[in-house]
Amino acid sequence: MKIGFIGLGNMGAPMAANLAAAGHDVTGFDLVAPCPNGVSMAASAAEAAAGREIVITMLPNGALLQSVAAEIIALMDKGAGFIDCSTVDVESARKVAAQATAAGLLAVDAPVSGGIGGASGGTLTFMAGGTEQSFAMAAPLFDIMGQKAVHCGPSGNGQAAKICNNMILGITMIGTCEAFALADKLGLDRGKMFDVVSTSSGYSWTMNAYCPAPGVGPTSPADNDYKPGFAADLMLKDLRLSQTAAEAVDAATPLGQHATDLYKSFVEDEDGSGRDFSAMLPRFEKLGRD
């Protein structure tokens, strides 16, 4: 297929490369990032989209998504597919989907989970919103770029699933880091802590698969000086999206709000920017009760 891919950052570049490696004709565009192997570089987003059977976007925020969509939708052929893999606010996702649908395109919002490693390895999970027909259009490409795709319902529901998932992730990571910091001060060996919790009711993905304690459990960013697999800056972005959505629908999310506040302090006022979101553990290690 002829595919346009707009947004070739840490996530978009390996996703586009995997599509090219699978035999698709991929043309990419990014304002700053280089093209990955197998992908042809376009001079603009418009050039990357014109005449393509499917256009995929992976962009940092809703405002940029809306700007790019306004530029490319009119250039795409009726019946083409528009797959947005960005993580943005639900309102932006639904607005862009409505514009694409009105232009005769098949629109899917499909944010991802799995991080840079999942993008490189083709093991991402896609949370997709859109019609059944739109999801069916996108599914073969999801199979190349990921290991699982879930159709979550109409447009915007992919974003809803992503921000709910990542709100849980942020809250759980904070709880895991707090527990390790408490265990340290109680004199409990971290390895023993992991052995108990990872097989008990405290089991969680943040403990068992992404342990924030170095040298404990499977290898994680904690074992690489907290160089980001999933940056604290991105966790803060997703938590803020969750609270914007919660406010819009009058949902009570006190733990989500508190997690947002903690990551805001960590990223903006402390040393969290550019570090993995699990680096909350050394943060809590330094703190006392007050």
Amino acid at position 183, single letter:
A
Nearest to 81 by CA among 52, 59, 60: 52
Q: What is the full DSSP assignment across 51-106?
A: T-SEEEE--SSHHHHHHHHHHHGGGSPTT-EEEE-----HHHHHHHHHHHHHTT-E
**Rounded CA gap, 67 and 64, in Å?**
5
Among candidate residues 162, 192, 237, 286, the one labeled active-site is: 162
Distance CA 276, CA 197 (A): 22
**Residue 112 contacts by C-beta under 8 Å, 6 or more apart in sequence?**
11, 85, 87, 118, 119, 124, 125, 126, 127, 146, 162
Cβ–Cβ < 8 Å for 20, 38: yes
Active site residue 162: yes
| Tokens representing residue 82 in the block | 């528009």
Spacing of C-alpha 212 from chain mean position: 19
Active site residues: 162
